[in-house]
Amino acid sequence: MTHELKYMPGFGNHFATEALDGALPKSQNSPQRAPYGLIAELLSGTAFTVKRQENLRTWLYRIRPSVLQGKFEALNYDSIKTAPLGDDHTSPQQLRWDPMPEIKGEANFIEGMVTVAANGDAAMRQGNAIHLYNANRSMTDEYFYNSDGDYLIVPQAGKLRVKTEMGLLDVEPSEIVCIPRGVKFQIEIPAKAARGYVLEIYGNHMVLPELGPIGSSGLANARDFQSPVAWFEEKEGNFKLISKYAGKFFQAPISHSPFDVVAWHGNYTPYKYDLKTFNTINTVSYDHPDPSIFTVLTSPSEHEGSANVDFVIFPPRWMVAENTFRPPYYHRNVMSEYMGLIHGVYDAKPNGGFGPGGGSLHSCMAAHGPEAAAFDKASSEELKPQFQGNTLAFMFESSYYYKTTAYAMESETLQDEYYRCWEGLTPTFNPDKI
């Protein structure tokens, strides 16, 4: 088993796992001599002194400590950008992109990543960035860690094997995987190619949203999150340790695999979640709840209720609302909304243009809603209970408005005339008829 432990983001679960019997010290974090001659090392994901409930840290028992690495030198990954971004490519326009074209040449997960938008300031640990990845080569001799934030990866096509210091996680489209800041990882592409979306979270780690009047169960249930069990390899060679730090990339030689953690305990760990297990909650009477009802995970800001960024899904679900305009309502939002489509059709945009692997961005106060044909259909069709099964869309929704990159605004995938999808909306107002 590669992922049998259960992990509850942000609620202080504590795991203990060992790949060799007796590798975990008993009742002590850093004994004078750890079992099997292992070295104890602490990885802290929050400040030492944050509240117990928010405290994230893991003790690693490894063959070599992480200090055994060479000297970092600058490395260039032009396509990956980090906030703060400049204003050169920013626009209030509604934006939409076709899926990324098929990859040319070879690229691993990092080489094949490109930034669409970002907000906040990574060095202040505030905000987030949205990237796409398109990879056809496994990382083999390169080990990577990101000092700037957590990666929440949303595969859209192709499986990924995520190798980390804490163990292995296999993910496929309709699942997500989170790799916390600082955790070293490699991504293998088991099939021909893989592509998807990445949310890089500079701010607070993702947690499950509060449930309020929903009660003790519902939405993403804690028991469905999975973390890896301890796994290690003893491997020597000429490898590269790549780090992203304050928006820049660096490379240092390393002569061993850093996946040499034989045992670990703590609560700072990668995890995966299958979106198919989401317990979808919606109206059973009338009207359309705000999309926050579909929040899977949230990265809180310092202002309670105004997220640094939420991860929200629009999963298969029954539509039963009576006397109601069922698709998403027209709106303008102080929060900025990036949407992607994992598979199927999104109900506000059924007529093409928003395909699996594509994306849209409605930034702060950008007007949006169903396209003309979707409005006409939803305003007049008979409202039978309907199962909307062929869909899995998601949204990264942030309190801070996004600035877009040169790639996003100059890419051949940008749909210049996206705004025209609303042109067919003509007034039906008639002062003589209620």
Please give the positions annotated as active site: 288
- Residue 337 interacts with Fe ion (CB under 5 A)? yes
How many whole angstroms separate alpha carbon 361 and alpha carbon 401? 10
And the tokens for 322? 């009576």
In the complex, least distance from residue 342 CB atom to Fe ion, rounded to whole angstroms: 18
- What amino acid is encoded at 432 in this protein? D
Which stretch in 74-82, 248-256, 331-339, 350-358 sits in contact with Fe ion by CB under 5 A? 331-339
Nearest C-alpha neighbor of 397 from the set 301, 281, 254, 270: 301
Residue with Cβ nearer Fe ion (13 or 292): 292
In the complex, least distance from residue 368 CB atom to Fe ion, rounded to whole angstroms: 6
In the complex, least distance from residue 315 CB atom to Fe ion, rounded to whole angstroms: 16
**C-alpha of 125 from chain center:** 17
- Residue 175 interacts with Fe ion (CB under 5 A)? no
Strand order across the 194-201 sheet: 5-6, 225-227, 271-274, 175-179, 150-157, 194-201, 126-135, 113-121, 403-404
Beta-bridged to residue 43, according to DSSP, are 58
Residue with Cβ nearer Fe ion (150 or 337): 337
Beta strands in 289-408 (DSSP E): 295-300, 307-314, 317-319, 336-344, 359-362, 386-388, 391-398, 403-404
Beta strands in 330-390 (DSSP E): 336-344, 359-362, 386-388
Residue with Cβ nearer Fe ion (113 or 395): 395
In the complex, least distance from residue 264 CB atom to Fe ion, rounded to whole angstroms: 40
In the complex, least distance from residue 425 CB atom to Fe ion, rounded to whole angstroms: 16
Residue number with the smallest Cβ distance to Fe ion: 337
**C-alpha of 15 from chain center:** 23
Residue with Cβ nearer Fe ion (29 or 306): 306
Contacts to Fe ion from residues 190-229, by CB under 5 A: none
Which stretch in 122-130, 188-196, 207-215, 330-338 sits in contact with Fe ion by CB under 5 A? 330-338
In the complex, least distance from residue 369 CB atom to Fe ion, rounded to whole angstroms: 7
Residue with Cβ nearer Fe ion (142 or 310): 310
Binders of Fe ion: how many residues, by CB under 5 A?
1
Which stretch in 66-74, 148-156, 334-342, 404-412 sits in contact with Fe ion by CB under 5 A? 334-342
Distances (CA, A) of 54 to 11, 46, 125, 272: 7, 8, 16, 19
Distances (CA, A) of 311 to 132, 275, 332: 16, 11, 19
Which stretch in 148-156, 332-340, 410-418, 423-431 sits in contact with Fe ion by CB under 5 A? 332-340
How many whole angstroms separate alpha carbon 415 and alpha carbon 249? 31
How many whole angstroms separate alpha carbon 236 and alpha carbon 418? 52
DSSP labels, 119-138? EEEGGGTEEEEEEEEEE-S-
- Residue 371 interacts with Fe ion (CB under 5 A)? no
Which stretch in 12-20, 145-153, 269-277, 336-344 sits in contact with Fe ion by CB under 5 A? 336-344
Interface residues toward Fe ion, by CB under 5 A: 337
